[in-house]
Amino acid sequence: MAYRHLLYQALLWLRSGSPPDWWNPVTWWRAASRLRQTRSLADCFHNLAFFVEHDFVGFEEQRFWSDVEKLRRDFAPEFVNSWRDAFARHLRE
């Protein structure tokens, strides 16, 4: 169940973006950064969605978390930690 919850949280994050203000170059830079994060997160979580659909047959937990860790190279550790924390919180509930 925790992986399903994590997938749901990732989808919420993916859809929470907002368009930049066209007159402000700073918001365009932030939007470009957000787009890179969005693409990387979608790449990381697309396999999880497949395994959720197929009742986790063939799912390799270590590989999934290794893919999540790869996000750390490109983004702030807080970005990666938020996914680990969301998973751990759900396990405690």
- Check residue 81 and give its pLDDT: 84
Distance CA 77, CA 53 (A): 29
pLDDT score of 60: 93
Tell me if 52 sits within 8 A of 3, measured CB to CB: yes
Q: What pLDDT was estimated at residue 52?
A: 92
Residue 25: domain span: 2-92
Spatial contact of 9 and 93, defined as CB atoms under 8 Å apart = no
The amino acid at residue 81 is N
Residue 54's pLDDT is what?
Answer: 93
**CA atoms of 30 and 24, how far apart (whole Å):** 10
> Of 65, 44, 58, nearest to 2 (Cα)?
65
The tens digit of pLDDT for each residue in 2-54 reads 888 888 888 887 777 666 666 777 777 777 887 888 888 888 888 899 999 99
**Total structural domains in the chain?**
1
CB 82 within 8 A of CB 44: no
Rounded Cα gap, residues 3 and 49, in angstroms: 9
